[in-house]
């Protein structure tokens, strides 16, 4: 009897191994129209969402105010990424002004709308120095420690810099103070448009004293150096910088709309934007004001300033006298650059601050000047040079600069790589034999990492239509991955074994961080 049972069992095992298995339910990814429809819909949705939130450059609206001819030429000379432009043009026939685009409040921009002028303020600070030198209050070779003797300056720091060195960017001080707080604030501005500057005059003195100058005597652009100059002159005269600016520059010229607000922008000020059109905060910072943070003016006021410089009667006009070699940017005086462009000699300075950009050009010989102010981060230099009819210096922006190379690489590689990586993660690899054994926690974590990757591409990448195809390809790949993840979710490993809790916490945390940063940089709630 036992032999019969054993033979029966052996027969059943052999039969089961040789017989075809009964097919189970079809895999929704590998059968039927569903496997194409769901990913296709996901790709379409990803493309639509990606197009709405992409770092594509802003464009100027159809609004126009002021002189029609100047407005038309201003529009023809504009660049991608600009939201609104206000300009004034000074010529033998007088001064005309115009504006195009939006002021950020939903109204047409006007030439009398206050905007931050950024580093053009440095020429004001240079003018204050030149005027005080003319009055015999200070000398160009005076050191900072001579003007601020009550501070215990250390040897070899910013206190040893001369006033002339600070005004011409030859002090060797770094461009900005280097600190952990500054790095965090800069990331806050990049991600969420938050004002990265929050310094007092004492903060400026401390940062300059702690800095280690490098390359002293060479022209190396330094916001810290100009801020130090402004507050050193304020200390020497016993007059706060905003009042010093009023006494020596704005009051003599009648620049009623030019001011340094202590906290809030002036009434009617345009709203600043990044190059995608996302609103950002103004850069109001008393400690950084002499270098251009939180100084407001209008195209009309700046036209008065430009004419006074052209005629040579502006207070501290000697600041524009070229004194030192500035490489590709010609020669420099006290913050003013003197350029030789197209057979013409031009005075020039530009600026950028709090979602604003500015440029001023003066041609004393031809009796012409141009001022352009924009309420976005996009440079207005090319626009200003086109209006005055001269080629812009090649050194203003270069794709070979390290920052530009990083931006270009991020804009082209990151979206495609991130989207492809997410798709491969969901499929368990590439090719027809991709494994279907993938943990759900890994898919969720990959989704969060994808959000972080696109956010990084948004933050680091150059804002240009040139990179739009790469962004959209990445969105399509990520959308395909999302569609497949939806179809395969029930077949994925639920991940309930050892270590699953930590994996799920990490995955969900990545999604939360990625979503928060993505919402922040997209400006959805700004």
Dump pLDDT digits (tens) for 111-122. 999 999 999 999
Domain boundary pick from 396, 416, 434: 396
Find the domain containing 469 and state its range: 28-56+401-522
Say if residue 470 is in the same domain as residue 359: no
Helix (H, G, I), strand (E, B) or coil at 408: helix
In a domain, 380, yes or no: yes
Long-range contacts of 61-64 (CB under 8 A, 24+ apart): 61/100, 61/101, 61/102, 63/99, 63/100, 63/101, 63/102, 63/108, 63/109, 64/98, 64/99, 64/100, 64/108
pTM here is 0.80
For 25-50, give one letter per residue: b (16+ CB within 10 A) or e: eeebbeeeeebeebbeebbeebbeeb
Please give the helix or strand (H or E) that residue 64 lies within, else none.
Answer: strand 64-66
Q: Which residues pair with 360 in a beta bridge?
A: 349, 371
**Is the Cβ–Cβ distance between 119 and 351 less than 8 Å?**
yes
CATH number assigned to the domain comprising residue 81: 3.40.710.10
Nearest-5° Cα angle at 393, 387 to 399: 115
- If asked whether residues 383 and 433 sit together in one domain, one would say no
Q: Are residues 167 and 50 in the same domain?
A: no
**Same domain for 424 and 355:** no
Mapped onto helix, strand or coil, the DSSP state of residue 73 is helix
The band of 525, judged by pLDDT with boundaries at 50, 70 and 90, is very low
pLDDT at 14 exceeding the cut of 50:
no
Domain boundary among 374, 396, 418: 396
Whether 318 and 208 map to the same domain: the answer is yes
Q: How does the average pLDDT of the chain come out, rounded? A: 86
Q: DSSP of 115-136, one letter per residue?
A: EE-GGGHHHHHHHHHHHHHHTT
Least confident of 194-198, 254-258, 361-365: 194-198
On whether both 206 and 294 belong to a single domain, the answer is yes
- Residue written as token pair 């210096």: 393
Residue 518 placed within a domain: yes
Of 367, 396, 425, the one marking the end of a domain is 396
Distance CA 385, CA 372 (A): 10
The answer, yes or no, to whether residue 437 has pLDDT greater than 80, is no
The pLDDT confidence band at residue 455, using thresholds 50, 70 and 90, is: confident
> Is 524's pLDDT higher than 60?
no
User: What is the structure's pLDDT at 37?
Assistant: 83
Write out pLDDT tens, residues 84-98. 999 999 998 899 999
Q: How confident is the model at residue 4 (pLDDT cuts 50, 70, 90)?
A: very low
Strands (E), 188-315: 296-297
- What distances in angstroms separate CA 402 from CA 214, 274, 353, one per listed residue? 20, 21, 21
Higher pLDDT, 50 or 432: 50
The number of domains in the chain is: 2
Q: Environment class of residue 352 by beta-carbon count within 10 Å: exposed (0-12), middle (13-18) or buried (19+)?
A: buried
Interatomic CA distance for residues 250 and 304, integer angstroms:
10
- Encode pLDDT of 26-35 as tens digits: 555 455 566 6
Alpha-carbon gap, residue 264 to 271, rounded angstroms: 12
pLDDT of residue 275: 87
């Amino acid at each position: 009897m036992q032999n019969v049972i054993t033979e029966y069992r052996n027969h059943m095992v052999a039969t089961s191994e040789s017989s075809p298995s009964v097919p189970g339910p079809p895999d929704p990814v590998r059968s039927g129209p569903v496997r194409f429809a769901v990913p296709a819909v996901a790709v379409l949705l990803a493309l639509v969402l990606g197009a709405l939130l992409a770092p594509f450059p802003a464009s100027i609206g159809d609004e126009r105010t002021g002189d029609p001819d100047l407005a038309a030429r201003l529009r023809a000379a504009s660049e991608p990424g600009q939201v609104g432009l206000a300009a004034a043009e000074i010529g033998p026939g007088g001064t005309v002004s115009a504006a195009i685009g939006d002021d950020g409040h939903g109204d047409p921009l006007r030439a009398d709308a206050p905007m931050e002028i950024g580093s053009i303020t440095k020429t004001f600070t240079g003018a204050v120095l030149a005027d005080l030198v003319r009055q015999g209050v200070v000398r160009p070779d005076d050191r900072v420690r001579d003007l601020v003797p009550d501070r215990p300056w250390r040897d070899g720091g910013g206190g040893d810099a001369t006033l002339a060195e600070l005004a011409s960017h030859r002090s060797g001080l770094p461009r900005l103070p280097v600190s952990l707080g500054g790095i965090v604030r800069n990331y806050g501005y990049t991600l969420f448009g938050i004002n990265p500057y929050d310094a007092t005059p004492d903060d400026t003195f401390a940062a300059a004293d702690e800095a280690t100058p490098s390359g002293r005597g060479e022209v190396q652009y330094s916001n810290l150096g100009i801020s130090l100059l402004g507050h050193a002159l304020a200390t020497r005269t016993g007059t706060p910088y905003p009042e010093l600016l009023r006494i020596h520059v704005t009051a003599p010229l009648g620049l009623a709309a030019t001011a340094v607000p202590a906290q809030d922008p002036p009434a009617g000020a345009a709203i600043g934007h990044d190059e995608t059109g996302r609103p950002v905060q103004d850069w109001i910072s008393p400690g950084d004001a002499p270098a251009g943070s939180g100084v407001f003016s209008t195209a009309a006021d700046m036209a008065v300033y430009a004419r006074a410089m052209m005629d040579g009667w502006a207070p501290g006009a000697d600041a524009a006298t070229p004194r030192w070699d500035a490489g590709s940017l010609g020669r420099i005086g006290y913050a003013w650059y003197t350029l030789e462009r197209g057979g013409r000699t031009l005075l020039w300075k530009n600026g950028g601050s709090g979602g604003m950009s500015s440029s001023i050009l003066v041609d004393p010989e031809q009796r012409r000047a141009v001022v352009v102010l924009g309420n976005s981060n996009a440079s207005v230099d090319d626009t200003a040079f086109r209006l005055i009819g001269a080629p812009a210096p090649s050194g203003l922006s270069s794709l070979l600069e390290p920052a530009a190379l990083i931006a270009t690489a991020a804009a082209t590689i990151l979206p495609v790589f991130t989207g492809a990586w997410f798709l491969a993660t969901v499929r368990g690899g590439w090719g027809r034999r991709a494994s279907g054994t993938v943990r759900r926690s890994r898919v969720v974590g990959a989704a969060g990492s994808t959000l972080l990757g696109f956010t990084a591409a948004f933050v680091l990448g150059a804002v240009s239509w040139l990179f739009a195809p790469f962004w959209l390809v990445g969105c399509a790949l990520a959308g395909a991955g999302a569609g497949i993840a939806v179809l395969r979710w029930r077949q994925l490993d639920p991940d309930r074994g050892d270590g699953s809790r930590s994996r799920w916490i990490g995955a969900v945390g990545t999604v939360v961080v990625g979503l928060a940063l993505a919402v922040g940089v997209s400006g959805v709630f700004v």
